[in-house]
Amino acid sequence: MRKSLIVGNWKMNKTIQEALKAVKALKNEIADVTDIEILICPSFTSLYIINNEIKNSNINLGAQNIFWETKGSFTGEVSPIMIKNVGCSYVLIGHSERRQYFYETNKTANKKIKAALLAGLIPIVCVGETLREKKENMTFKIIKKQIKQNLVGLAIGDASSVVIAYEPIWAIGTGKTPTSNQIEEIHFFIRKIYDEMYKNVAEKVRIIYGGSINSDNISEFMKKSNIDGGLVGSASLETKVFSRIIKYSRF
C-alpha cells in the first residue's frame, strides 16, 4: 500500500520569519492528519529553523535542490550531506524551473539522484512535457526518455524509494491542468516503464502530480489509483489553502 504524499514547494518565497510563521500555523491546522505524508520544501535559508519547529510533528522537511558532490570548491552549491545534516529527508531533483533557468539536464538530474540516495535522502524526480511537446503528441516519448535517463544506473532498492513527480510544464503556475484521466494515463505509463526497468518495483513507487493544484481540484486527482499525491507550488504558500489541500478528503 503506497502512502499518499503531499508536498509544498515554496520555491524562492518566504524569509526565515515568514517561513517560521507559516510552519507554526500549518502544524496546528494539520496536527491530526495521519493518512497523508506531509512534506514542505522551503528555501535553504529556512531549513535549519524549520527543522527545529517541526520536530515531533507530522511534517517532513525537504530541500529544493542539491549539488552532486559531497564537498569541495563549488562556490554557491549545497551538498547532499549538508541537506541531510540540516534535517531533510527529501530533495526535489530536476524541477522544470531548474531545467529552464539553470540548464539542468537528465544527465545532471541523474548525478543528483545518485548523490541524494547515497546521503540517505529520498529524491523527488520531476518530469514533464512542454506545451510544444504536448501539441506535437510527444508527451509519452519525452516522459519515457526522462525516466530512463534520470534513473540510469540506479540499483533496484534505490529505484523503489525514488518518488516521481509528473509535472507538465504548461500546467505549472498557469491555472491549467490535464484532466484527472489524462494524469492517470501518464502515471500508469510511468509505472509501466518502471516495470520494464525493474522487477517488482513499479507497484511500490509513488508517482505524484504537480501543476496548478488547488483546494478545488485535488480531490478529483486523488480519486485515481495511480495518483499518489501532489506537488503543490503557489497554493502551498497560503497555510489555509495548503492545509485544505492536505485535508481534501474531509471536504
Q: Which residues form the interface with ligand PGA (CB under 6 A)?
A: 9, 167, 172-173, 210-213, 231-235
Helix ranges restricted to H, the chain? 16-29, 44-54, 80-85, 96-102, 106-118, 131-135, 139-151, 156-161, 180-197, 218-222, 239-246
Query: Taking CB positions, which residue lies at the least distance from ligand PGA?
Result: 233
Residue whose C-alpha cell reads 526565515 in the numeric block: 16
When the beta carbons of 176 and 204 are compared against ligand PGA, the nearer one is: 176
Q: Least separation, in Å, of the C-beta of 9 and ligand PGA? A: 4
Of the candidates 220, 225, 137, 124, the residue with the CA atom closest to the CA atom of residue 184:
225
When the beta carbons of 178 and 211 are compared against ligand PGA, the nearer one is: 211
When the beta carbons of 80 and 211 are compared against ligand PGA, the nearer one is: 211
Residue 56: partners with Cβ closer than 8 Å, 6 or more residues away: none
Residue 162 and residue 207: Cα distance in Å, rounded?
Answer: 9
Name the grid cell of 193. 516503464
Cα dihedral angle (248, 7, 44, 107), rounded to 10 degrees? -160
Helix H or strand E encompassing 230? strand 229-232
Residue 121 and residue 112: Cα distance in Å, rounded?
Answer: 11
When the beta carbons of 88 and 202 are compared against ligand PGA, the nearer one is: 88
When the beta carbons of 195 and 219 are compared against ligand PGA, the nearer one is: 219
Of the candidates 38, 31, 29, the residue with the CA atom closest to the CA atom of residue 239:
29
Q: Least separation, in Å, of the C-beta of 75 and ligand PGA? A: 27
Catalytic residues: 95, 167
Q: Least separation, in Å, of the C-beta of 164 and ligand PGA? A: 13
Q: Least separation, in Å, of the C-beta of 136 and ligand PGA? A: 22
Of the candidates 171, 191, 251, 179, the residue with the CA atom closest to the CA atom of residue 221:
179
Q: Least separation, in Å, of the C-beta of 156 and ligand PGA? A: 28
